[in-house]
A and B are shown apart, each in its own frame.
Chain A
Amino acid sequence: MSQTTNDPRLLRAPPKRPIRLSWSDERVRGIVWQLLVVGIVGGIVWWLWSNTVHNLEVRRIATGFGFLGREAGLPIAEHLIDYNPTDTYFRALLVGLLNTLKVAVVGIVLATILGTLIGIARLSKNWLLSRIAGVYVEVIRDLPLLLQLLFWYAVLQGLPGPRQALNPVDGVFLSNRGLKLPWIEWESAHSWALLAFVAGAVATWLYRRAARAAQMQDGQPRRVWPVALGLLLVLPVAVWWVLGAPWTPDMPALRGFNFQGGVNISPEYFALLLGLVLYTAGFIAEIVRAGILAVAHGQWEAAQALGLKPTQVLNQIVLPQALRVIIPPMTSQFLNLTKNSSLAVAIGYQDIVSIANTTLNQTGQAIEGIAIIMLVYLTISLSISLFMNWYNARIALVER
């Protein structure tokens, strides 16, 4: 008895159900409950709202976002785009947002790398290595993040002043005014080289796909790494060479009370980044470990019994399954890192929360200020959630 298209169970459509107005009707009860709950919640919200309007009037606090166009008058030490205190509040908030993203993006990348390494170390056969990694994870996860941030900031503040700065390598100076690193004078040749690198990355990816397709055709594997090396390393260097090979290092040098030149990483940023990376890496390590363990040992055995080499087993069998388990909680940790960066206000790094806080103190418009903060973070969270849902749907294992 096959289920063909003339399955008689697909012939008629279900009827609609009319409602009977009576207390014992399930649906009537449901509607009444909902009205009750919505009514109570709505009532509370209305009460709070009317109080707020009244209080704002009495205290003569302005409402609305008009203040965004006013002059900010607040100094910001670190800014990725041009800013001076005569700019508007809007620009100040934008600078704050960029500062948040600066620490969040770099933090996510570093935390992922460190976390993955520690997670793998936890699974190592070397007892000492796995135990140390285990101790690290346990200690990091049992201490409040704020405490860790304050600790690192205190350590950095305890460093000697610029005149007695630590100088481990030529051009690198660590003092209580931050970390100074040498940089180079950026010229157009460098931009071209960078562009060549990006182009090389894209080309490598394309080549990998073509090589795989060709292998499917005739069975012969093709080595990708020589081509990748050429495109990612040799090409940019060649471009730079051809354009004159400019290389003028910009070394930090002590002038007066501080260093000039080179690139500066402020103690605030450094402490925040360090604290966030070490903290989040602890959680990511556990996620990576769980993901790798989640792939049943039988998978390894079956794959190896078929004759696949260890790298092949890793790439084709283990990693795809492990990533399924790893990616959802991992994105949740990325989100946590972004939200945790709001603790910057405690050590003086001016991120969006810190600047919005100063703004609301100066203008007195608390509601708008906090609304801005929440809006920024909600947007980031919801975007990451949406991405997660899309990703999950795409990689979901097809089951009965």
Chain B
Amino acid sequence: MGETMEMLASAARTDAPPAITLDKVNKWFGALHVLRDVSLQVALGERVVVCGPSGSGKSTMIRCINRLETHQEGRIIVDDIELSDDVKALDAIRREVGMVFQSFNLFPHLTVLDNCTLAPIWVRRMPKAEAEDLAMHYLERVKIPEQAKKFPGQLSGGQQQRVAIARALCMKPKIMLFDEPTSALDPEMIKEVLDTMVGLAEMGMTMIVVTHEMGFARQVADRVVFMDRGEIVELGTPAEMFEQPKTDRLRMFLSQILRGH
């Protein structure tokens, strides 16, 4: 356990303060212990990819970070604020953490532009004109400004996910969480979303991405975390993880995942 902490400390960029700290986080669903002593530190500007078989707790872990799930033991500290039952703390954290879901979850009754401006106007108290400028800026970033007045139902899956990314970015978060962002997309649309995420990484955004896209991990990730059955089994740079897996579980997982690639 002690050497894990050393590993974590050395792997993180020591010059940047940690953006997210998970310290011995435990979570139960009923009697099922789904996160077991999960500890992780993510530095500001770092890109972390989390992978693992289904049921390993990777989605649960990142959903704990913005309190879509609650942890029962351990500490989660985001941007120097600790996650607890405190409502004010929670509001502050959710303003700084953006999330992109597997099923996009765009609001179908609002236009693309309204989807993006809703939270800035009502949570960050921005004037409408300013919010719309901001939204158009990010829609250009994700390369679909011409869809601003359309409704989500009129867009393709890849376009919807890019709108979802823009919507999260409009809150100017410090950290972006991605929960299997390309798993619900047809193959031809995966690339456009991944390219957007690569662009985001190049901007210096702190990102935690749960995904099976190992190509993306190799290209962009600073670290890869492998989880299985609720605990972090291995972590390291992409090169270390993919070329020299240390544990049998990771080896087995990689052989299953990479067979298609």
**Using a CB–CB distance below 8 Å, which chain A residues touch chain B?**
1, 7-15, 17, 20, 22, 24-27, 29
Contacts and interface: CB of A to CB of B under 8 A. Distances in A.
B229 to A, nearest CB: 6
Contact of A10 (B31, B53, B90, B252): B31
Nearest to B34: A9
B85 interface: yes
B230 interface: yes
Nearest to A11: B33
A202 to B, nearest CB: 46
Given A1-B249, A15-B72, A8 B88 contact: no
B188 interface: no
B88 A1 contact: no
Contacts of A15: 72-73
A68 to B, nearest CB: 50
A61 B162 CA distance: 72
Given A1-B249, A7-B229, A8-B229, A13 B28 contact: yes
Contacts of A9: 32-34, 36, 229-230
B85 A26 contact: yes
A268 to B, nearest CB: 53
Contact of B28 (A14, A22, A24, A26): A14
Contacts of A26: 85, 87, 90
A24 B88 contact: yes
Interface of B: 26, 28, 31-34, 36, 53, 72-73, 85-90, 228-231, 249, 252
Nearest to A28: B85
Nearest to A20: B85
Contacts of B34: 9
Given A8-B229, A13-B28, A13-B31, A29 B72 contact: no
B32 A22 contact: no
Contacts of B89: 24
A9 B33 CA distance: 4
Contact of A22 (B33, B53, B86, B230): B86
B53 A1 contact: yes
16 contacts: A1-B53, A1-B228, A1-B249, A9-B32, A9-B33, A12-B26, A12-B28, A12-B33, A13-B28, A14-B26, A14-B73, A17-B85, A24-B87, A24-B88, A26-B85, A26-B90
Contacts of A27: 85
B87 A10 contact: no
Closest 3 CB pairs of A and B: A14-B28, A9-B33, A24-B86
Contacts of A11: 33
A283 to B, nearest CB: 32
A1, A13, A27, A29 pick with most chain B CB within 10 angstroms: A1
A22 B72 CA distance: 19
A10 B32 contact: yes
Contacts of A25: 85-87
A129 B86 CA distance: 66
A22 B86 CA distance: 8
A13 B27 CA distance: 10
A29 B86 CA distance: 10
Given A1-B252, A13-B31, A27-B85, 13 more contacts: A1-B53, A1-B228, A1-B249, A9-B32, A9-B230, A10-B31, A11-B33, A14-B73, A15-B72, A15-B73, A24-B85, A25-B86, A26-B90
Contacts of B26: 12, 14
A7 to B, nearest CB: 7
Contacts of A22: 86
A10 B26 CA distance: 13
Contacts of A8: 33, 36, 229-231
Contacts of B72: 14-15, 17
B129 to A, nearest CB: 33
Contacts of B231: 8
B229 A1 contact: yes
A30 to B, nearest CB: 10
A304 B86 CA distance: 62
A258 to B, nearest CB: 68
Contacts of A7: 229
Nearest to B89: A24
B79 to A, nearest CB: 18
Contacts of A29: 87
Contacts of B87: 24-26, 29
A352 B229 CA distance: 63
Nearest to A7: B229
B189 to A, nearest CB: 27
Nearest to B249: A1
B28, B34, B228, B249 pick with most chain A CB within 10 angstroms: B28
